């Protein structure tokens, strides 16, 4: 997965790199793109960390509009778990709705229901077992470094993948105070039951010695993995990218966009040595 | 077994013919060869003067056979670019008659070559057939000055380029993997070098290339859209020669000569790019590797006058690397052993044993992590074909073909402590076919070429095959090593008819069914070295295409001008696609990520060519549509395929200024590819994300480009002769869109913007070619 991201990146960079030597160029163009009706976008998260847990409702806009995504207010948002606990979320403004009583616990299944603008949506996600992120190691890298000559490093989270179950992971990388916007998700198809030590190749941030790097690891369920995997694939653009499509979502309801994820969370922060 | 009975009845029907007239007949046979090099000329026409529509053509080994009633005849032999030869014979016994033709010399004034019948395009029966003139290719302007068969065919009607500077091509709505690309009969699974900017065919080693757009005769099979049959040169059997070229990006060298004079010969041609030398000079790409090389080798030996063996091989490799942490290399290997035998003056036999291999290897290393991703496809292929020249009006071809495929899907191979190795099982299968094809001239006007190919594909044991419904396993089939799995049987009838309206015009019609048992899983618009081939399975059925076409062919002014107009309609079943958001890297079984659908393509192709004189060239125009309909994509509605281009125009002109200088130019213009652009945007985790409505509902901008070239022939010094080729790709520097991407505007984060990337403005190149 991360490898794929990395591979596409390298290929495009190389094609463009070679072509650059032969006078390629990029420029901003005006395209007359179709407009579409506003669609409701749901970003729902329940974690095993301290609450409140947030659900955000916004709307889509046309491509030519400003990046100002209208918040949806006055919605009815409720999350249930499979033990019969129910929490009706309170509105906090800017499209955010927060839980007051709900606990995120591994092994429980959560159901999100949203009624907004006369439409109703439902999504289900299960919180997987928590896997302990043991440490972060760094590998010296030569990939995609924008400033050749600098010595840059690639972080690799280390933990042991359990043998008995299927696992899916999401990593959020922060360099000093900058969050890496790339999406990093992975599964244990090839490493089931083994120590995990795959490096996270980023096309964006290049840690150097003495920088501080944090990795937030989420254990996610398959539907969440599928969402982020396909979101990432649709972001990939260029000659070697797949035909873009809306990501595969677990939200049911007319024209729904976004995801609902119940996941564990753990953060480690270390200095590059 | 009803099917088999039907086929047998059909075959029997094929063999029964109108009784031949009782007159005593004799057979003339022999070969047609180049005077200087001894190279066989393929497809040379042997005609009987004053007898319309009676004659023969040399086959793919330069052999011909012609049976005529007792009498006196004048035979004329012609071949494009060569002087015509003629001879009057008295036929009262079987005879052997070998021909040698001389290349048209410069001293021969073009105007004088007239009164010749070069109307093959009108008289040949196979439709949608394009013969590529290798001499002509050398004059056309090309990117980086590297002449290329695959780029030249993109200037022909019905053939579309896969992208800027790309050697990949699409034929009549087919995808890139639906072209059967053969090099001396061996299938080439990835015909591109350097991410598609070069093809694997070094034109120095090529003798002949023929493209058939979907209506191929029964001896070809295995791909839906087209056959590109490339034949390597045999090597000069009279004297030693070397030739080559030195260019900015690559250099070539070819050596050929006799092993035993006029009995055996060899040819070795090599090529290497040195773009990496320039890369090393730049700070940014210093540690990178980027080059390819290839080697063609061939030898042949005449055992006696009726038997000959050929040995040919190709080996090519691309290497690309970033520092010592990432490397990928890929390439093809092919080898062919052939034995030609003239069993009797009327029966020609060819036996081929063919090996072909394509593999890639990605190596990644960093700290204590080191792993490879490998994939390979390997074929062993046996062909037996008989050609029976029954009489001047009746030609048979029948044969058998067995291919054993070994497909190793892409898998990680690494440190067991890091990667659990999921077995890396290779899948084996057997593809076999029997065919018969007959070309029969009913009278002076009507010639019919018809046949059937019966194709079998058997899954061989050694792996587990899962059956999926909507991505969920419903059944597993475990096949033990040595066990036979499911067999797919497909009869493929083919028929082409040519009706000569008069000496200069004809009307043709054709129908063909083609099936395809190997499928390329490609998720991107251009081909990539890591695209995987997969065989039929318990989910994947053979792809089937039915194509009907009709055309009008007309020559003007003593065959100086040639015109053709063809229409076609093609229906395609069992097309393979990925589902949206398919996980291609780590999913245990790629088959769970596949979707199946239909395709249709139709269009009109117009072609007008000036073949003689100081000025030569052509106009080719295609109006077409290509659509797909796949379950779970675009609400199961028809949508334009990526390669759907409404208009496609090419103008090619070559002008012989004087004995030294030759100038050439081509202009191409086509509708942009069908693409998926966003129709809205929204935010996920604070990131702008795009919203898509319909699949391929937008178009890339119109593409057009003009290329120029000039060739200067040097003086001949004893044996040495050199020539300079100057070319300019994209002469007016149009910034054609290679990609259009969407992103937040870095200068104003409150906005999003569309960014166009263009490659290759004004690419000049100089090549020095020599031979001695």
**Contact (CB<8Å) A234/B284:** no
pLDDT in tens, B127-141: 878 888 777 777 777
Distance between CA atoms of residues B57 and B43, nearest Å: 5
Q: Where in the sequence of chain B do the CATH 2.40.170.20 domains occur?
A: 230-771
Report the distance separating Cα B166 and Cα B154, nearest Å.
10
The rounded distance, in Å, linking the Cα atoms of B4 and B7 is: 5
- Assess whether pLDDT exceeds 60 at residue A178: yes
Q: Which of B525, B597, B681 is the best substitution to test chain A (most A C-beta atoms within 10 A)?
A: B681
Smallest CA–CA distance from A95 into chain B, residue: B683
Predicted ipTM beyond 0.90: no
Fold of the domain built from segment(s) B2-117: Immunoglobulin-like (2.60.40)
Residue with the larger pLDDT of the pair A45 and B38: A45
pLDDT, one tens digit per residue, over B381-410 is: 999 999 998 887 888 999 999 999 999 877
Strand partners, B2: none
Cβ pair B682:A62 closer than 8 A: no
Cβ-based contacts of A189 with chain B (< 8 Å) = 422, 586-588
Q: How far is A87 from chain B (nearest CA, A)?
A: 23
CA distances from B42 to B45, B61, B68, B338 (A): 9, 6, 22, 16
Regarding the domain with residue range B129-229, which homologous superfamily does it belong to in the CATH classification?
A: TonB-dependent receptor, plug domain (2.170.130.10)
Contact criterion met (CB below 8 Å) for B497 and B215: no
**Cis peptide bond upstream of A52, omega within 30:** yes
Judge whether residue B460 has pLDDT over 80: yes
The percent of residues in chain A predicted with pLDDT above 90, rounded, is 40
- The band of B378, judged by pLDDT with boundaries at 50, 70 and 90, is very high
CA distance B662 to B657: 5
What is the spatial distance between Cα B429 and Cα B404, in angstroms, rounded to a whole number?
Answer: 6
Helix, strand or coil for residue B339?
strand
Among A58, A137, A190, select the one facing B682 at the smallest CB separation. Answer: A58
Question: Between A and B, how many residue pairs show a Cβ–Cβ distance under 8 A?
Answer: 242
Smallest CA–CA separation between B146 and chain A, in Å? Answer: 15
To the nearest whole number, what is the mean pLDDT of chain B?
84
User: Please, are residues B59 and B347 in contact by the beta-carbon 8 Å criterion?
Assistant: no
* pLDDT score at B7: 53
Find the mean pLDDT for residues B227-242: 89
Chain A residue with the nearest C-alpha to that of B641: A243
Instruction: Identify which of B248, B528, B373 has the alpha carbon closest to the alpha carbon of residue A240.
Output: B528
**Given a cut of 50, is residue B354 above it in pLDDT?**
yes
**Closest residue to A24, CB basis, from B285, B585, B759:** B759
> CA-CA distance, B485 to B458, in Å (whole number)?
6
CA B510 from chain centre, in angstroms, equals 20
Residues in chain B: 772
Minimum-distance CB partner of B678 among A21, A29, A63: A63
Instruction: Inspect the interface and report whether the beta carbons of A29 and B762 lie closer than 8 Å.
Output: no
Indicate if the pLDDT at residue B170 is higher than 80: yes
Residues of B with Cβ-Cβ distance to A163 under 8 angstroms: none
What integer pLDDT is reported at residue A147 of this predicted model? Answer: 65
Give Cβ neighbours of residue A50 (< 8 Å, ≥ 6 apart): none
d(CA B266, CA B257): 6
Say yes or no to pLDDT of A238 above 70.
no
CATH no., domain B230-771: 2.40.170.20
Can you spell out the DSSP letters for B218-262?
Answer: TT--S-SSEEEEEEE----SSS-EEEEEE-SSEEEEEEEEEEETT
Q: What is the pLDDT of residues B258-317, one digit of tens each?
A: 988 888 999 999 999 887 776 666 665 666 777 889 999 999 998 988 899 999 999 999
Q: How far is the alpha carbon of A205 from chain B, nearest alpha carbon, in Å?
A: 16
pLDDT tens, position by position, B185-201: 889 888 888 777 788 88
Evaluate if residue A15 carries a pLDDT over 70: no
Which residue on chain B is closest to A181 by alpha carbon? Answer: B687
CATH 2.170.130.10 maps onto chain B at 129-229
Is B18 a residue whose pLDDT tops 50?
no
Domain with CATH 2.60.40.1120 in chain B: 2-117
Which residue from B367, B524, B684 is facing A43, i.e. has the nearest CB?
B684
* Chain segment B98-124, per-residue pLDDT in tens: 888 888 764 333 333 333 346 777 878
Q: Which of the residues A4, A27, A31 would you substitute to probe the B interface, choosing the one with the greatest number of B C-beta atoms within 10 Å?
A: A31
Tell me how far the alpha carbon of residue B690 is from its chain's centroid: 38
The least confident of A153-167, B268-282, B415-429 is B415-429
Q: Which of A1, A5, A18 is the mutation pick for testing B, counting most B CBs within 10 A?
A: A18
Question: Using the beta-carbon criterion (under 8 Å), do B283 and A246 form an inter-chain contact?
Answer: no
Burial class (CB in 10 A: 0-12, 13-18, 19+), B323: middle
Bridge partners (DSSP) listed for residue B359: B331, B376
Chain A residues with CB under 8 Å of B528 CB are 11, 240
Mark yes or no for CB contact A229/B581 under 8 Å: yes
- When CB atoms are compared, the residue of A25, A35, A259 closest to B758 is A25
Greater model confidence, B277 or B513 = B513
Task: List, as own/partner pairs, every contact residues B743-752 make where C-beta atoms lie below 8 angstroms and the sequence separation is at least 24, other chains included.
Answer: B743/B688, B744/A67, B744/B688, B745/A28, B749/A67, B750/A66, B750/A67, B750/A68, B751/A66, B751/A67, B752/A63, B752/A67, B752/B681, B752/B688
């Amino acid at each position: 997965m991360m490898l794929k991201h990395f591979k596409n990146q390298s290929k495009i960079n190389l094609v463009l790199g070679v072509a650059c030597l032969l006078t390629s160029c990029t420029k901003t163009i005006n395209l007359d793109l179709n407009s579409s009706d506003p669609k409701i976008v749901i970003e729902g998260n329940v974690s095993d960390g301290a609450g409140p847990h947030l659900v955000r409702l916004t709307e889509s806009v046309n491509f030519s509009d400003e990046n100002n995504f209208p918040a949806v207010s006055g919605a009815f948002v409720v999350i249930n778990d499979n033990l019969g606990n129910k929490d009706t979320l309170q509105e906090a403004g800017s499209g955010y709705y927060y839980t007051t009583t709900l606990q995120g616990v591994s092994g429980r299944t959560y159901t999100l229901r949203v009624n907004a603008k006369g439409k109703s949506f439902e999504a289900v996600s299960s919180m997987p077992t928590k896997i302990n992120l043991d440490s972060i190691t760094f590998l010296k890298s030569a990939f995609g470094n924008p400033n050749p000559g600098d010595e840059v490093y690639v972080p690799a989270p280390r933990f042991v993948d359990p043998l008995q179950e299927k696992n899916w992971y999401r990593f959020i990388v922060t360099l000093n105070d900058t969050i890496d916007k790339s999406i990093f998700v992975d599964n244990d198809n090839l490493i089931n039951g083994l120590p995990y030590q795959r490096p996270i190749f980023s096309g964006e941030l290049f840690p150097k010695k003495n920088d501080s790097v944090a990795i937030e690891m989420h254990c996610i369920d398959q539907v969440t993995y599928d969402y982020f995997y396909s979101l990432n694939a649709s972001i990939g653009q260029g000659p070697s990218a797949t035909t873009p499509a809306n990501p595969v979502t677990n939200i049911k309801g007319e024209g729904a966009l976004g995801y609902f994820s119940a996941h564990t969370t753990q953060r480690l922060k270390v200095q590059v040595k | 077994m009803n099917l088999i009975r039907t086929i047998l009845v059909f075959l029997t029907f094929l063999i029964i013919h109108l009784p031949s007239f009782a007159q005593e007949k004799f057979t003339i046979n022999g070969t047609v060869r180049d005077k200087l090099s001894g190279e066989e000329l393929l497809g040379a026409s042997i005609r009987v003067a004053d007898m319309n529509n009676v004659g023969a053509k040399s086959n793919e080994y330069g052999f011909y056979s012609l049976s005529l009633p007792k009498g006196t005849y004048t035979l004329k032999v012609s071949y494009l670019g060569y002087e015509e030869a003629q001879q009057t014979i008295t036929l009262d016994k079987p005879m052997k008659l070998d021909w040698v033709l001389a290349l048209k010399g410069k001293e021969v004034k073009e105007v004088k070559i007239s009164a010749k019948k070069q109307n093959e395009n009108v008289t040949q029966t196979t439709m949608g057939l394009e013969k590529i003139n290798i001499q002509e290719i050398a004059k056309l302007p090309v990117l980086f000055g590297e002449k290329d068969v695959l780029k030249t065919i993109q200037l022909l009607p019905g053939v579309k380029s896969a992208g800027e500077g790309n050697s990949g091509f699409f034929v009549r709505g087919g995808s890139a993997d639906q072209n059967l690309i053969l090099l001396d009969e061996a299938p080439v699974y990835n015909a591109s070098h350097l991410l598609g900017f070069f093809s694997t065919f070094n034109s120095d080693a090529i003798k002949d290339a023929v493209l058939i757009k979907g209506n191929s005769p029964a001896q070809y099979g295995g791909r839906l859209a087209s056959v590109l049959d490339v034949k390597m040169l045999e090597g000069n059997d009279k004297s030693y020669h070397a030739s080559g070229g030195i260019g900015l990006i690559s250099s070539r060298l070819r050596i050929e000569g006799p092993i035993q004079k006029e009995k055996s010969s060899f040819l070795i041609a090599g090529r290497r790019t040195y773009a990496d030398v320039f890369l090393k000079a730049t700070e940014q790409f210093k540690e990178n590797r980027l080059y390819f090389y290839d080697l063609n080798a061939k030898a042949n030996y005449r055992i006696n006058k009726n038997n000959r063996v050929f040995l040919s091989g190709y080996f090519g490799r691309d290497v690309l690397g970033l520092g010592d942490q990432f490397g990928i290399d890929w390439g093809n290997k092919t080898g062919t052993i052939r034995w030609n035998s003239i069993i009797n003056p009327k029966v020609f036999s060819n036996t081929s044993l063919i090996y072909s291999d394509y593999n890639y290897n990605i190596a990644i290393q960093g700290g204590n992590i080191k792993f490879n991703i490998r994939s390979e496809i390997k074929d062993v292929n046996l062909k037996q074909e008989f050609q029976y020249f029954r009489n001047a009006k009746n030609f048979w071809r029948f044969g058998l073909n067995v291919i054993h495929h070994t497909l190793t899907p892409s898998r990680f191979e690494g440190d067991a402590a890091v990667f659990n190795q999921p077995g890396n099982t290779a899948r084996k299968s057997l593809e076999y076919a029997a065919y018969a094809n007959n070309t029969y001239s009913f009278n002076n006007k009507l010639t019919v070429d018809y046949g059937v190919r019966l194709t079998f594909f058997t899954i061989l044991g050694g792996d587990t095959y899962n059956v999926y419904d909507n991505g969920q396993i419903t059944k597993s089939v475990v096949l033990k090593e040595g066990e036979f799995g499911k067999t797919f049987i497909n009869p493929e009838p083919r028929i082409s008819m040519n009706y000569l309206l008069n000496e200069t015009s004809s009307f043709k019609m054709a129908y063909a069914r083609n099936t395809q048992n190997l499928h390329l899983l490609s998720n991107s618009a251009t081909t990539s070295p890591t695209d995987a081939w997969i065989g039929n399975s318990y989910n994947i059925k053979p792809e089937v295409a039915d194509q009907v076409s009709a055309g009008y062919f007309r020559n003007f002014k003593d065959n100086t001008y040639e015109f053709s107009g063809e229409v076609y309609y093609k229906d395609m079943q069992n097309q393979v696609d990925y589902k949206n958001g398919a996980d291609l890297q780590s999913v245990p079984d790629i088959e769970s990520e596949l979707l199946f659908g239909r395709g249709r393509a139709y269009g009109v192709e117009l072609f007008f060519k000036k073949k003689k004189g100081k000025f030569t060239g052509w106009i080719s125009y295609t109006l077409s549509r290509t659509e797909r309909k796949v379950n779970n994509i675009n609400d199961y509605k028809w949508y334009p395929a990526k390669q759907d281009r409404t208009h496609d125009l090419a103008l090619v002109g070559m002008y012989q200024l004087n004995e030294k200088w030759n100038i050439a130019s081509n202009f191409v213009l086509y509708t942009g590819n069908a693409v998926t652009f966003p129709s809205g945007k929204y935010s996920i985790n604070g990131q702008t994300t795009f919203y898509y409505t319909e699949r391929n509902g937008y178009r890339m901008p119109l593409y057009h480009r003009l290329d120029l070239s000039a060739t200067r022939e040097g003086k001949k010094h004893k044996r040495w002769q050199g020539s300079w080729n100057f070319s300019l790709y994209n002469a007016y520097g149009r910034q054609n869109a290679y990609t259009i991407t969407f992103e937040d505007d870095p200068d104003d984060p409150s906005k999003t913007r569309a960014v166009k990337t263009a490659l290759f403005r004004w690419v000049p190149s100089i090549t020095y070619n020599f031979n001695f």
